[in-house]
């Protein structure tokens, strides 16, 4: 202001050292010229609610105390310290503002949330539809660019390539269908072949069971009510030649179980006069067995060995090992001939049934 006054003077002013000193001192300061307070360097607008007013400053200078009962501050000015201590309260920030401030403090978090906002709630089907629409739009845009910048020729080349690719794919699918058809036909043929084989096997088994049943019936008719009848199911499963030899020898040696070796008065189920050391021995040094099945299987095994390994297929040949212990010359010739005659008669009876072998 003083510079402006000096600049606007038309007539040069006379040197005034007091004024010059005042100007230099307060050149860069603001001074309030007040009628009531005089010259004041520090001042504020009156009752601005943000600063101490002139009246309040004047009271502080004079050593007074100021108690403010307002919402904006509450202070006590000490005469000795001549300072003002302020305490104030601000409105608590809203909870949502605090959450937003923390959430968007990181730009990365902001981007993630922004992206999630666009994707949340989108179902799989809608996402698939959007991808199809996007692909279609991109394809249309790409074909437009090709046609525009590369010309109709390029567009035709693209279409030709697409047609060729479609033909190749069609050929591949046809080949796959042909191969699958051949494989299916082959699998079906193999399944049918297996089915036929299983059916034939079942037929053979059924026929075998039928023969065994027929053989068992014949045995029961032959032996009647003699004890050997309990062995009929096991005998019928054996080879007919072995079964016939067993039945014939049993008829000669025990009358089909009427005269058998015993152990403590119990049947030893040894109906063919078999002599081989066992856990339990019966009368007259004969072998003793626990059950009819064991008695048949153990003795039939020896008969089978003689038939197929030593060729003892007739009563005449079987008499030497079975009755005479390989020394027919030491036995009574009449007894030997009687044994052969009785066994042979039963063999002929069983052979007349013409039951085929089970081997």
Query: What is the sign, positive or negative, of the torsion defined by CA atoms of 19, 23, 25, 31?
Result: positive
Using one digit for the tens of pLDDT, what is the confidence trace for 207-261?
889 999 999 999 999 999 999 999 999 999 999 999 999 999 999 999 999 999 9
Q: How confident is the model at residue 159 (pLDDT cuts 50, 70, 90)?
A: low
* Backbone φ/ψ region at 266: left (φ over 0), alpha (ψ -120 to 50), beta: beta
**Which H helix or E strand runs over 146?**
helix 124-223
354 or 311: which leads in pLDDT: 311
Report the C-alpha gap between 207 and 152 in whole angstroms. 81
pLDDT at 306 over 90: yes
Residue 300 pLDDT: 95
- The residue among 91 and 349 whose pLDDT is bigger is 349
158 pLDDT exceeds 90? no
For residues 142-147, give the mean pLDDT: 70
Question: Taking residues 303-319, what's their average pLDDT?
Answer: 94
Per-residue model confidence as pLDDT tens digits over 317-335: 999 999 888 887 778 899 9
Instruction: Report the half-sphere exposure of 129 (CA within 13 A, side-chain side).
Output: 5
**Model pLDDT for residues 257-299, shown as the tens digit of each residue:** 999 999 988 999 999 999 887 778 888 888 999 999 999 999 9
**Residue 336 in contact with residue 316, Cβ under 8 Å?**
no
Find the mean pLDDT for residues 310-321. 93
The contacts of residue 233 (CB under 8 Å, 6+ apart) are: 216
Residues 167-213 have pLDDT tens digits of: 887 788 778 777 777 888 888 888 888 988 998 999 989 988 999 99
Confidence of residue 314 (pLDDT cuts 50, 70, 90): very high
Mean pLDDT of 2-10: 52
* Pairing of the two strands 262-263 and 84-85: unpaired
pLDDT, residue 328, reads 79
Whether the pLDDT of residue 307 is over 70: the answer is: yes
- pLDDT tens-digit map of 28-50: 666 666 666 666 666 655 555 55
Q: For the segment 67-121, what is each residue's pLDDT rounded down to a tens digit?
A: 655 434 434 334 333 334 433 333 445 556 566 566 555 555 656 655 555 555 5
Tokens of 347: 């063999």
Provide the pLDDT for residue 73: 40
- For residues 137-141, average pLDDT: 78
Helix (H, G, I), strand (E, B) or coil at 287: strand
Give, for 156, the enclosing helix (H) or strand (E).
Answer: helix 124-223
pLDDT of residue 214: 92
Mean pLDDT of 339-357: 89
How confident is residue 65, by pLDDT bands cut at 50, 70 and 90? low
The pLDDT value recorded for residue 79 is: 36
């Amino acid at each position: 202001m003083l510079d402006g006054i000096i600049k606007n003077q038309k007539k040069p002013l006379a040197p005034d050292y007091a004024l010059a000193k005042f100007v230099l001192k307060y050149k860069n300061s603001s001074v309030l010229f007040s009628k009531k307070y005089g010259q004041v360097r520090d001042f504020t607008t009156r009752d601005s609610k943000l600063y101490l007013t002139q009246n309040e400053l004047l009271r502080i200078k004079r050593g007074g105390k100021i108690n403010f009962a307002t919402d904006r501050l509450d202070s006590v000015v000490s005469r000795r310290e001549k300072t003002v201590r302020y305490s104030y309260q601000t409105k608590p920030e809203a909870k949502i503002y605090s959450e937003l401030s923390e959430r968007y403090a990181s730009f990365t978090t902001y981007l993630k949330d922004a992206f999630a906002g666009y994707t949340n709630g989108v179902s799989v089907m809608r996402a698939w539809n959007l991808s199809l629409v996007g692909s279609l739009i991109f394809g249309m845009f790409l074909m437009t660019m090709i046609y525009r910048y590369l010309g109709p020729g390029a567009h035709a080349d693209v279409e030709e390539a697409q047609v060729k690719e479609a033909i190749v794919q069609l050929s591949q699918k046809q080949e796959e269908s042909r191969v699958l058809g051949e494989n299916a036909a082959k699998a079906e043929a193999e399944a049918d072949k297996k089915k036929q084989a299983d059916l034939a096997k079942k037929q053979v088994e059924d026929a075998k069971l039928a023969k065994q049943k027929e053989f068992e019936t014949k045995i029961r008719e032959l032996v009647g009510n003699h004890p050997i009848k309990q062995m009929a199911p096991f005998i019928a499963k054996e080879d007919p030649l072995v079964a016939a030899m067993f039945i014939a020898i049993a008829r000669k040696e025990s009358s089909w179980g009427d005269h058998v070796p015993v152990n403590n008065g119990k049947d030893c189920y040894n109906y063919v006069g078999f002599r081989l050391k066992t856990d339990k021995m019966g009368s007259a040094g004969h072998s003793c067995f626990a059950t009819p099945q064991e008695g048949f299987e153990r003795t039939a095994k020896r008969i089978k060995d003689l038939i197929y390994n030593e060729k003892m297929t007739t009563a005449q040949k079987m008499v030497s090992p079975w009755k005479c212990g390989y020394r027919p010359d030491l036995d009574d010739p009449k007894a030997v001939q009687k044994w052969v005659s009785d066994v042979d008669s039963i063999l002929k009876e069983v052979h007349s049934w013409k039951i085929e072998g089970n081997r």
